[in-house]
Structure 1
Amino acid sequence: MTFERPWPKGHLHLEDLSIGQRFESREQRMELDEVKEFAGRYDPQFFHLDEEEAAGSLFGRLAASGWHTAANSMRLMVESVPFARGLIGAGGEISWPKATFPGDTLRVLSEVVEIAPSRSRPDRGMVTLKCQTLNQHGEIVQVFNPRIVVWRRPATE
């Protein structure tokens, strides 16, 4: 099976980054069937699977799993944050200040908030991003602050 990359190969190295640098993703719609399929496989709670039962929940209607929001957000980050050699996570914090619902359209805004060259490994450093996932109304539905391993530009480039 051949894999076709639907986004450009990452090209930014540690030296190319600066505090405040921003990246914006495309939009991604959360479809009802995908919300239910994800929940059925990974987060099978009634408020993610059954419209009638979800009406009596904290959400008042069927809501997407936070982990589904996170998975979609990760895809959007991978496509829009062009770090050389990919996004290799080294921890972080995540929160969901507002629920995501079927039919919502998500986009991710990512900002470099910290750059720390490694003292023990001169070929890399650690970059902290602040990634906000917004719905079509501009409301923040997820905040993710990952620490990402970012490589320095090889001496041959």
Structure 2
Amino acid sequence: MKFSDFEVGQRYETKSVILTKDDIIRFAEMYDPQYMHLDEEKAKQGRFGSLIASGMQTLNVSFKLWIDVGVYGDHIIAGTGMNQLQFLKPVYPEDELHVIAEVIELRPRRVGNGTVTVLLSTYNQKGQNVFRAELSALVDN
């Protein structure tokens, strides 16, 4: 969509994805090697009682689900910011995640484009909000 096609309040729902134990471990080995993401036995003794996904993995999965909707298409120029990142609940192996994205701000620019800010809210299969963040992108007209 072009910048001029966006309206505050538009909502989009993504497909869902299931994070397996192997997905969580593989991501953690590369990007977040902490025990609660890697060591199943130690994680069982910890606060969450199980392995959990890295918050960074939850952010990345949420972003991919949003981009896969294809709303920006070829009109996106670049991401410009992330604000108010909140990891609200742990994501466990076999959790099924989906995202609801809502346009919350539009800022036109002089050169025929503008910044679109969406609130991404990620939910698990129980309807629990596990992640939330505001993402802004520069979008062409």
TM range (shorter): over 0.9
Q: How does 1:57-96 map to 2 (within 5 A)?
A: 57-85=46-74, 86=76, 88-93=78-83, 94-96=85-87
Structure 1 unaligned spans of 5+: 1-11, 153-157
Q: Of residues 108, 111, 118 in structure 2, which corresponds to 1:117? A: 108
Aligned sequence identity (%): 35
Report what 2:123 is aligned to: 134
Structure 2 unaligned spans of 5+: none
Aligned residue-pair number: 139
Q: C-alpha deviations, 1:14-64, integer Å up to 9, x for none? A: 111101001110010001111101001110000101111001222221101
Q: Distance in 2 between matches of 1:81 and 1:148?
A: 14
1:105 aligns with 2:76: no
Q: Distance in 1 between matches of 2:78 and 2:65?
A: 15
TM-align CA RMSD = 1.3
Report what 1:33 is aligned to: 22
TM-score (norm 2): 0.93
What's the secondary structure of 1:129's corresponding residue?
strand
TM-score (norm 1): 0.84
Q: Distance in 2 between matches of 1:92 and 1:142?
A: 13
Q: Distance in 1 between matches of 2:122 and 2:77?
A: 17
Report what 2:6 is aligned to: 17
What's the secondary structure of 1:26's corresponding residue?
strand
The structure with the largest alpha-carbon Rg is 1
Larger relative contact order (C-alpha < 8 A, sep ≥ 6)? 2
Give 1:126 deviation, angstroms: 0.5
The 8 Å contact of residues 23 and 81 in structure 1, kept in 2 or not, is answered as: no
The 8 Å contact of residues 84 and 151 in structure 1, kept in 2 or not, is answered as: no
Q: Distance in 1 between matches of 2:28 and 2:138?
A: 30
Comparing 82-91 and 63-72, the one that deviates more: 82-91
